Amino acid sequence: MGLKIDRVSHRYPQQEDFVLKDVSITLEDSQIVGLLGTSGSGKSTLGQIAAGLLRPVQGKVLYNNEPFQALPAREKKRKRIQMIFQHPEVSFNPRISLDKSMEEVYKLCGKAYNTEARREMAGQFGIYPEQLKRVPAQLSGGELQRLAIARALLPEPDILILDEPTSMLDVISQAQVMRMLLALQKKRKLSYLFITHDVALCRYVSDKIYTIEEGVIVEDKQLNPAVV
Ligand SMILES: Nc1ncnc2c1ncn2[C@@H]1O[C@H](COP(=O)(O)OP(=O)(O)OP(=O)(O)O)[C@@H](O)[C@H]1O
Ligand SMILES: [Mg+2]
């Protein structure tokens, strides 16, 4: 069960070098898996492949033992795997209000439109209805990142790919958002692929950590909760 990245290699079009080389990782149900690595090591590329947003040149991505592509349309629409991007501004259409952006998620996943749930979720991440009337450029980077997390949770995914989800936040908001994410993970039995270069934070939240260097997984570590 869960998500399995099986011997994936990737090279971007018109590039000579592979940025991922024979990478295999597994994410079990209700597990937090950390992905650590320095800048340019291939973390975001791997995250996008895991979320089904980028098709790898070689290798497979299996969701509950089946290729994600093979899921029934209804399930695919519900987007069982959601990604929070490193740069939150790419997650929102710059021309429409954030409220509208949130509303689109309901349309996409075929769920009944629910203003209350939408506002409540945004509120949990400290974004108020007043702010939802604005366009993305009228929120701070940190606010947008918090709203991106709230929005990704609306379709009720099983798996969240979190690409540096707190990198734009100050220490206090970072702690608040992490607490929120950890509580949600427990409550909804979510799995997270937590991408970061913050070793301490990664060790604190993860059940297992993969370390990637220049596109190669160099370490795979099961953490013992008693010693974390
Ligand atoms: N669209 C693209 N086209 C060509 N090369 C790319 C593209 N996106 C990323 N790369 C290259 O792939 C490599 C891995 O990039 P990636 O964004 O996955 O790294 P990262 O580990 O997420 O880095 P960071 O910590 O800085 O976010 C880098 O050398 C990068 O320049
Ligand atoms: Mg990145």
39 lines ligand 1 (CB under 6 A): yes
Assess contact for 216 and 46: CB atoms under 8 A.
Answer: no
Pairing of strands 3-10, 20-27: antiparallel
Which amino acid is located at 169 in the chain? L
Percent of the chain at pLDDT > 90 equals 60
| pLDDT per position as a tens digit, 160-218 | 999 998 888 888 888 888 988 999 999 999 999 999 989 999 999 999 999 999 999 99
- Ligand 2 centre to CA of 104 (Å) is 26
pLDDT for 141 equals 85
Domains of the chain: 3-227 (3.40.50.300)
Mean pLDDT, the chain, integer: 88
Instruction: Identify each DSSP E strand in the chain by its residue range.
Output: 3-10, 20-27, 32-36, 58-63, 66-67, 81-84, 159-163, 191-196, 208-213, 216-222
145 lines ligand 1 (CB under 6 A): no
